Each structure stands twice: as structure tokens, then as C-alpha cells.
Structure 1
């Protein structure tokens, strides 16, 4: 492939950004096509077969992270994808590269950095004619740990993999519910089929029918999530955040194993295993009237409780070593090792963010640290002011003593009001800062009685 004649797809909802990037790349003799949203991007990706995709994270219909995850799952030879965001952060970059993105660009874009990354990404795609090597290897990683809790859960999931019972994964944030769901899929009779994961809270009610069922338009078919997962597994992350209309649509499709595409007239039958996860007890959501009881029973044929990291702390040294090796081999970060004292300290830390927090800690230390060893003092500094994971009870906010639902509402309201003020009262800026789809954000602000 002649790199200078390469075909690049630019996906961004801001017209000025699309025009600027297009002009820059065309001046460098690249062929460029542009899309303003995920729907256009899907069509152009199929029709134009680009050699590289520049993908914005924040878009009005489907966010870039979800779109990247969709493409990685369905396309074993996906071209290199470079993510762009005006509100870049280590967390966004970590998530994007974990899913398979080649690199990450922050806005405002640096001309020199844009051209350098484009050139390197295209060279990478040229070197690997079998582009399946660009798929995130972490998809095939099984849960790490030799503790009784991890071993028991893995054994149960292997058995569940031989059946098609719908499984509800329960556990607090960061315990790896999606990783366990993927492990069950990889050990199931559906392992040759796709594993499609979607954060249902990111799907707006207006788009849920298209997202789940796809659409037919101008003689073309755009498959939805259920159709993409046909023969495999559809994983609904944090299903408690699904709105009532989407719950109704999903219920009907699961009960009949069929649906109509938007704009279509013929029923589409699918054979898909739907599994879900939740960090909040769905029984409480059912009692409060926020989640349909019939859908709850449909999704909850088997419950799998994923234990927080503090309950199997003997796995912490193994997890630390695993992620050191992972970031060294997959992201080419300089090799460093935890001292024994640092490992012992981390075994006694409470890990409120669970495995996700541990993973991010390892990456942060390997990116920012110097020297071969990561010692106790460096670890303490990276963890911040929380000592040994214990919160001083005298500084506990008042809402800590409330029931969970009330405490969550108090926190969300304070959090949103703080960032709303920082954004100058702009809902668009607020949505970008906190990473929430704008339509969903409007509903949240209204439910918390935050005046616009």
C-alpha cells in the first residue's frame, strides 16, 4: 500500500474539525472521507474500506468508545483506529487502547502530532497484512488469580458455558464483570460467534430501537446489536441504567427471539445468548418501579456474584505482575517491578476501585515512574492521600449515613452542580466533561431537579 495514497475516514460531530483535518490530510496527498456521526461512520466504513479511521470519542448518537468496541468485535481485520477527544484523559486513553485503538489524540489537535501518528498508524497497518494482530489481546485474557473465589467462579462459568441460561453478573464497579462474561463466552458452545458488549446507559431512548434492532434504509441493511451477536453473546453492561422504553423493546425481542428492523417489514429471527451485569441490586430497582419485573426474571435465570478484590487479596501480587507484563509487552512501557514491601502494602489496601483501580495504578506507575523498582513510597504517592484504603470517619460526608439510593442522589446532584458551574451553565460542555450522552444528561438533570 502506498501510504501517501491511503484512504482515511474522519469521524467527528464538529464541522470545523472535519473540515480542518480533511484539508490537512488532503494536502499530504491522502484520500479522505468524513462522517458526522456513528451512523454515517458505519456506512462509510463498509462502503469505503478505509486504511485508517480517526474517531471522535464524544458524538451525539453513539460514542466513539462504544463504536470502536462494536467494530473490534465484528471485524477481525479492523484497520488502525486513532481516537480523538477534546477532553482527553489518562482514563479515556487507557480505555481506547485497551479496546484496540492504535493511539489517542487530544484536541486542539497538534498538526505535527496528527501527521506523525497518521503516518505511524498507516505503516503499522501496512506491516501487518493480517490485521487481526491489532485486535486487543486482552479480549482473550482470562480472569487472573489462584484464590478459591476466582477458581470457583471460573469453574462455575465453564459449566454455565455449556448451557444457554441467561446470566446476571452482580458486583461493585471495577471487579471485571465484562471479563468474566467474556470468559464464559470463550468457554461456551458459542465461542466461535461474536461477543458484543454494550454499555446500555450510553444508548439514548430515541436511538435504542436502531441500536438493538438495526434499520433498513434505501435498500441497505444496517444490523443492530442483536443481529451482530447472532450465534454468539450480547453482553448488556450495567443494565439497571436502561430506560423504560428500551426495556420494553428488549423484553419483546427476547421473548420471541425475533424483531423488526426500523424501516423493515419482515421479522428477523436471531439465536443469541443475552447476559447482563449490574452494580446496583436490580431487586431494589424493580421495587422502586424503575426496572421491569418481567425483564428482571428473564435476564436473571442464573446470578453470578463477582467478589470485590479485597475479599481475595491473595491474588493481588499475581495481578500486579500480570499487568506489569501486559503493559511491558503490549504497550511497550519500560519494565518495572514492585518491591516485596510494596506488594505487601498493596495486599492490605482496600481497593475501592477493585481490579480496574489496580490496573490503572500499574499503568500510571509504569508511565510516570523512573527506575527499575516501584517501592512503597512511590505506591503511596500514586494512591494519593487515602492511607491503607481506610477513610477517616470524622471526614465522612453526611450522605454516607443515608440509604444507598438517597446517598447516590445526593452525590450525583453535588457532582453535577459542581461541574455545571465549571462549564458556565452549558449542557453541551457538561456532557463532554463528565462523558454522558446529552439526551441522557437532560433526563438526569431533570430527575435531580437541577435548574438549567
Structure 2
């Protein structure tokens, strides 16, 4: 993983060179600009992690440039103002606009390095706080000690050491995001950001902007790729990506660069891609829904995440983990599972995988009473889940899914019910649901609904 990228903006060549040499000796990646215009161009070419900005320059002063960058509400990265003729008013204005600190010339190199280090650390902590507020906590490490999980954990640790793309395959709720976090935090990029994006939550019209960013005159919007610079970009629901965005992603992976929407200059790419899918991408490629060349780029190291039913011996440990999780996080009353209840859940099929287990624990802690969760309580909860599953709109996990995934689950449940009502006849099913038969066959195949030959 490369070190932090610092942009030094100063119209004095000696100072630019001195600061550049000192920072590079400390292991930072440094770009320089001798004017405001050059600084704008540098920001477009390579997103900086920190900017050292001189106040007095010929084309534009640093405070005006700072104000321009802060127009969106906040600065894109920490900015440290440097000036040989600083005033209290200048320092106050810089701080008001969001500058991290103000350093006077002649520059104390020891102070410069200390302020740079503190600014980068403060920015990292701020981003981590934002991430925690925007998403539920992710399990830091896969929970369980089964042979299946131990082998998978060892496989992920081996893959994590090599800076290559990874494709995680598995059913919804099986823990793909957990393994993505586990991989990142055990990789050489662990000090860099882990940025997540779910393709299923994006509309076709804005997916390219969200991933690759955009440019409009002097304004630059950094997309998820640049936000994940020197770190890992986790792309969930990759199989739902539209064709145009697939083409952009393929180009970025092939050239290790991309162009923002509305931009003209290529931006260097220094990101590890971890993609995840619940779909069979081989079938998607064969059906023409997913680019074959992109699939081969992503599928360098495929990792299959097993269904919970395939490592059911981990269920008791998962139950205990999520009891502690909800007691600590949501202050729910502590309850423990009776041995008979644990045994029943160990032998349950878990169609919703770990996500279903987590929801079940939360519901039992909220609705139950007494220190022990009994077998009768568990049976009642499972029966309620079974009844709810008959109606996709009442499925407890459906509302947690991205819109595209929820719609697909509803379509699957709906067509399976209608097919049963039609006695297994696709011809009668087509009449019942008002679909052309050829299109209906493709839909049934895409949803994984088994239709027996001769059912017409």
C-alpha cells in the first residue's frame, strides 16, 4: 500500500523543494504546484490526502482557493495553511473555512512534520466515526470454530497477503461483508480505508458518479474509488451492475486508471477490489447479463462463503455472540439459550443464514422474559418465521435487503406460489400472471425456479 499523498502549493521554488524532500524522506508521496491553477489541476489528477497551501500567490491567494474548495460544505481533505506574512485575521479566516492549522514561515520542519502527522490521523479518525454512524457495526472476525470456518478463515488470510482482486460468492445473509472486513484488516492495506458500496442500492443513472466521481467546471466530486484510495473498495451485489458501469469498471481495472464523469484527465487507481455476489455469474455471463471479460478480472481469487447450514456446529457460538452484541449495543436484557433450544437451532435449516440468526436473537431478547430462552420460545419463533415466509412482504429479512434484491425475492415467492396454483403448468402460469411464455421461461430460470419438463 502506498503512503499518504500530500500536495504542496507554494510559489517559492526553494520552499516547495525543501518541503517535498523532507516529506518524501518521511515516506509520503508528494506532488507540488506553483500556483492556484496548478493546484486545481493536481487535485483533478490525483486526490490528495492533505494539502499544504501557501497564502500569497500571483494568480489567486490561498484563502480564496480554500474558500473555493470549501463551497460544498466541507474540505475534501485536511488543509494546512503556510504563510510568511500571516496575520491574526488570516489565521481566523482560514480556521473558519476549515483549515486544520496555520504554520508561519520560516517553517520549523519539526513542527511541520508533527502537524502533518496529526492532521492525517485526525482525518482518519473522523472518517471512521462517519463510517460507524452510517452503518451497523460489522463483526470484526468470522464467528465460529468449525472445520469449515477454520479452513475458510485460513484461505482468506492467505489471499489477504496478496494484493489481488477477490470475488466473494454466497447466499444473502451468509456473511460476505464480514469476510470482506476480515480480509481488509489482515491485508497490507489495513491502514487505508475500507469503502463499501452496494450496487443494488444505486440507480443506473447515478452509479457511475457514485463509483468514479464527477467534475463540473472547478468543482470535483470524489467517487468511491478515490475515497478508497490506498485501501479496499467492497462492491456488493456486483451481479446487479448495469452494462455501462460494467464497461467503466473493466476499463479502470485494465488501465489502473479512470476518468470522472464529465472529466477529461485520467485518475490513477490504487485500490483493491473485493466484489461480492449472490448470483451465479457463470450463468449471468452465459445469458449475456454480465461481461465475460469483467468476470475474469474479478474472479482471479473466488471464495465461496458457505450457508450457515453447512457449518451448523457454529450456531451455539453465534447465538452467544449475538446475545452479547445486542446486550452491549442496544442494552437489551441478557438471556441465555437453554441447551435444548440451542440443539433445536443447531438442526434448523437457516434459509436466511447468519442474518436470520441475528434477527431471531434480537427478537427473542426484545419479546421474551426470564433469564432463559426456552425450547418452546424458539419453536414459537420459528413457526412465526415460517408463517411470515409464506408472504414475502411479511418476511422479516426482506425489508433489510436492497430494493433490487427485495424485488427479486418477491418475484421468486410470487411465481413459485402461482406455479403451484397452476399445477406446475408454465402455460397456465403465463396466463395467470399475464406474461409471454418465452419471457416467463427466462424469468423462471433467472430466479432459480425449477420447472419440470413437460409441465405444459
Q: TM-score normalised to the size of structure 1?
A: 0.58
DSSP-derived class of the 1:77 partner = helix
CA distance in 1: counterparts of 2:150 and 2:132, whole angstroms: 28
The alpha-carbon deviation at position 198 of structure 1 amounts to 1.1
The equivalent residue for 2:289 is: 290
How far apart, in 2, do the equivalents of 1:412 and 1:250 lie?
A: 29
Q: Say what the alpha-carbon RMSD is for the aligned residues.
A: 3.4
After superposition, where does 1:178-257 map in structure 2 within 5 Å? 178-257=177-256
Displacement of 1:303: 1.0
Shift, 1:410, TM fit = 9.8
- Residue 77 of structure 1: aligned partner: 126
Q: How does 1:367-378 map to 2 (within 5 A)?
A: 367-378=366-377
Does residue 328 in structure 1 map to residue 327 in structure 2? yes
CA deviations over 1:171-193 (Å, ceiling 9, x no partner): 11111011111101110001111
CA distance 1:189–1:205, change in 2 (3 Å) = same
Q: What do residues 204-262 of structure 1 show as CA deviations (whole Å, max 9, x unaligned)?
A: 22112211111123423211011111111111112111111111111111111111112
Does the CA-based 8 Å contact 1:143-1:183 persist in structure 2?
Answer: yes
Contact 1:234 1:275 in 2 (8 A): yes
| Alpha carbons 1:199, 1:238 under 8 Å: kept | yes
- Using a 3 Å threshold, how does the CA distance of structure 1 residues 182 and 410 change in structure 2: closer, same or farther? closer
Distance 1:269 1:326, change over 3 A: same
Q: Give matches, 1:4-403, under 5 Å.
A: 43-44=72-73, 76-77=125-126, 100-101=132-133, 138-139=137-138, 141-385=140-384
* Alpha-carbon shift at residue 415 of structure 1 (Å): 4.8
Could you say what secondary structure the match of 2:260 adopts?
coil
| Aligned partners of 2:252 and 2:269 also within 8 Å | no
Give structure 1 regions of 4+ aligned residues with deviation exceeding 3 angstroms: 42-50, 78-81, 99-102, 385-388, 408-411, 413-416
Structure 2 residue aligned with 1:94: none
CA change 1:78–1:170 in 2 (3 A) is closer
Distance 1:251 1:101, change over 3 A: same
Cα distance in 2, alignment partners of residues 49 and 378 from structure 1: 57
Give, in whole Å, the separation in 2 of the partners of 1:344 and 1:170: 28
- The TM-score, its normalising length taken from structure 2, stands at 0.58
- Seen in structure 2, the aligned counterparts of structure 1 residues 358 and 410 have a Cα distance that, compared at 3 Å, is closer
- Look up the SS of the partner of 1:180 in the other structure: helix
- Measured in 2, the distance between the counterparts of 1:312 and 1:410 equals 24
Q: Distance in 2 between matches of 1:80 and 1:315?
A: 31
Instruction: Provide Cα deviations, 1:15-46, integer angstroms capped at 9, x if missing partner.
Output: xxxxxxxxxxxxxxxxxxxxxxxxxxx94465
Whether the aligned pair in 1 keeps the contact of 2:139 and 2:178 (CA below 8 Å) is: no
Range 330-339 or range 314-323, more displaced? 330-339
Counterparts in 2 of 1:76 and 1:299: CA distance versus 1, 3 Å = same
Cα distance in 2, alignment partners of residues 228 and 189 from structure 1: 18
| Structure-1 separation of matches of 2:152 and 2:197 | 23
* Cα shift at 1:77: 2.7
- Which protein is bigger by CA-based radius of gyration? 2
* Contact 1:380 1:387 (8 Å CA) reproduced: no
* Local SS of the residue matching 2:220: strand
Deviations 1:326-375 (A, max 9, x none): 11112211111111111011011110000000011111111222211111
Structure 2: 5+ residue stretches without partners: 1-70, 77-95, 99-122, 391-406, 418-441, 444-456
Q: Deviations over 1:109-162 (max 9, x none)?
A: xxxxxxxxxxxxxxxxxxxxxxxxxx85x3361000000111111111111111
Deviation, 1:195, is 0.9
> Which range is displaced more, 206-215 or 296-305?
206-215
Q: Relative to structure 1, is the Cα distance of residues 295 and 45 closer, same or farther in structure 2, using a 3 angstrom cutoff?
A: same
1:384 Cα offset (Å): 2.6
* Number of the residue aligned with 1:66: none
Q: Distance in 2 between matches of 1:213 and 1:387?
A: 42
Where in structure 2 are the equivalents of 1:432-443 lying within 5 Å? none
Q: 1:334 to 1:78 in 2, by over 3 A?
A: farther
Counterpart CA distance in 2 for 1:289 and 1:334 is 51
Equivalent in the alignment of 1:96: none
1:414 Cα deviation (Å)?
Answer: 6.9
Q: Structure 1's 145 and 248: CA in aligned 2 closer, same or farther, altered over 3 A?
A: same
